[in-house]
Amino acid sequence: MVKRASISTKKRVALFQKHDGVCHICGGKISVGEAWQIEHIIPFAMGGADDESNWAPAHIKCHRTKTTDDVGKIAKAKRREARHLGVNVSRTPLPFGKKSEFKRKLDGTIVRRDEK
């Protein structure tokens, strides 16, 4: 597992000032004294860098919502990658193709070629 970079108070202040105290997700101003978090613009699990170029301040509520959305997208990307690499092979593949005795109708049903 890759160790994430630690963010010092000095870096947090610099990041907040660089973005003028604006939440990068909703575009709203983060009030003085309001809790906020540093958020990866491109999710770390999707190949985003774990450095200042990929960090931005975000309201806690906005960050939580974006993270929830990202979890589903990350899972889908991992499933697609596994399928692309041939890791997940169907246990019961349908024998389709020119030599197959099956065909799929427009309504989605599957029938033998000799049936009508």
Averaged confidence pLDDT in the chain = 85
Q: What pLDDT band is residue 45 in, cutting at 50, 70 and 90?
A: confident
pLDDT at position 24: 93
Residue ranges of domains in the chain, CATH in brackets:
9-102 (1.10.30)
Query: pLDDT tens for residues 65-90?
Result: 999 999 999 999 998 888 888 887 66
pTM score: 0.65
Q: State the DSSP string of 19-83.
A: TTTB-TTT-PBPPTT--EEEEESS-GGGT--SSGGGEEEEEHHHHHHHHHHHHHHHHHHHHHHHH
- Residue 112 phi/psi, 5-degree rounding, is -75, 150
Question: Does the pLDDT at position 2 exceed 70?
Answer: no
Question: Does the pLDDT at position 115 exceed 70?
Answer: no
CA gap 4, 62 in Å, rounded = 21
pLDDT at position 101: 73
CA gap 13, 18 in Å, rounded = 9
Mean pLDDT in residue range 28-34 = 91
